[in-house]
Structure 1
Amino acid sequence: MDQSGIVLLGPQRRPGLDKVVAGLQLDGPFATITAGWQEREVADSELQEHLGGRAVNLALWSRRQEILDRDPDFAAAHRARQAELSDMQELYQIGVSHTSRAITELREQTERSSRSREFALRDAEEVLRSLDRRHLERVRDIDAEFYDLTRPHEHPLIAAHRAEVAQVLAQTEAVVIAGGHVAELLDALHLFNVVPAGLDRLPIIAWSAGAMVLTERVVLFNDNAIRGPRPPEVYDDGLALLRDTVVLPSAHKRLHMNNTDRMSLLARRFAPALCVPLDPGARVDVPADGALPAGTPVIGTSGGLSCVVTAPPAEESIDG
């Protein structure tokens, strides 16, 4: 395997991790990250079995919980930030939902001239992209304010945990990142500075939320939500180890993949990033530069499935 390449897998409901590891000729030791499982983080016996018992769980969620329990000032600031981010996410989602409905309505104006309708659609899609950009900028501002205020590196307990995480990574051959709750996983990864601690220098195997957090921006999506389809929404910066990529785990289960208008909008909205469906059985081997390799299935701007033709990815690299 490439020294710091990434293997993206589909959801591991029927785990085949042991075969992936064997095929990559990785002997371990491994570091595992299961923070997305939250309180079940260390219930990882099956994962350990697939890694031949040669893995150390970084226990990032448990470490974070210990900090929140033992450092009341940091915990209070963390709660305040999470509350503000939650409010902002919900308000942003309202704007995205209204704009998405407007785009649907514009598409239905078939009695209008095609040129006028196309102009209106382009304008509405640009509004959507603008909402995404501004939301992400504000999330970054809130995160920066939080870290400036709390200065985690000056908290002895946080500094000690960061040092322990870095030490484990320094003795690791590869890292395995499981799925679960993407927000909890991402928060823990950022708190413990896993990228500068060495994650970017190691081979990574990841799936579901674990794959999502490796991208430059994490996009949430669910066309089959209980209250009806929700337009995709930008959540936060990811770890930026994958370039120009939006990862969509269980895409055929969670997206209306047969709705070409909806999928076309998804692809155009996040371009030049490419939207990669990761369904059960999927596998994408990404080289060290973080660019998707040729042949990677993606959702094309026509709304159908296509493949990456060249790397690095760009809009014109989609066939159809």
Structure 2
Amino acid sequence: MSGEDEYEVGFGYIAESIERATARRAQHYEMYGWKPDGEKMLRILHLPMNTYWHENVRCNDGGYRDFPHTEKGVKKSLQRPCVICAGEIIKPPGKKYGMIERGIALAALRKQSFIEKGGKRIPGAIIDTRTTHTPDGDGQQYVGLLKFANSNFWGNLSGVYARNKTLMDRDFKVKRIGGGYDTYYSFEPQDPIEGLKTKEELEEHYKELLKDKPTIFEWFDEQCSQEYFDQYLKAETPEQEEIMRTTGSVKEKSQTSGTGMPQPEREEEVSHGVQAPRDTSFSSLKEQLKSQMDSYEDDDE
């Protein structure tokens, strides 16, 4: 076909595009969500980090994203005056973006297995939920992001932590109860599993999956970066200005994650697709948590 050498024609380019998309997806976490009365079995991988957010902010691409409040709870090198609080971004007339606290943490999705015994189906071991989104079709563990209010989510785990001094030694069956402002979450602790009770054992168990993923600190740093704010909150054209000045109903809003990936409404289930890890080096959660914790504000001390 005449002129095709001037364009990216052929499946070689398609394959390269898929590889780029896979690499981008590997660097983001999908956020957990619950339907009313929905349940999930989770293994929380570290203690939650308290953070401050402006949620559902209108962006220059027509989407809605959450942005950290950059004056508090942020790594010192990223602290700066908050442009959202100062009203220095374009927004719909009369719109105010309040600040809210959220606890964030990574958690692995798990499930209750069942076995047949005496003609009855009885509960077996708790195992990893595996996806089919890998080249060999064998599946892989899923790790996602928990980003919830301290009052109705993380606060309900304070008694467990006070008693056990950890949240990582067992799985929790988490159920959403109620809706809207009356929503809260119940946590049913499961029995500890031998060989999967300590931080070191968890790191080893999820090492292959997490080696391609950012730590919770790296993910949050990217959200706080000036580059991220500029990418979605700076209007470069009159068309982008017009987009940022308009708004839609809550149901029309498209939730997005930290890397701009579309997310479902907060009250709906999320998908659990995850890409296979690639062969790149990645420090353990233990090393990352230990080396980076000092650079964050610790209001509890």
TM class, shorter-length: under 0.3
With normalisation by structure 1, the TM-score equals 0.21
More strand by share: 2
More helix by share: 1
With normalisation by structure 2, the TM-score equals 0.22
Relative contact order (alpha carbons < 8 A, sep ≥ 6): 1 or 2 greater? 2
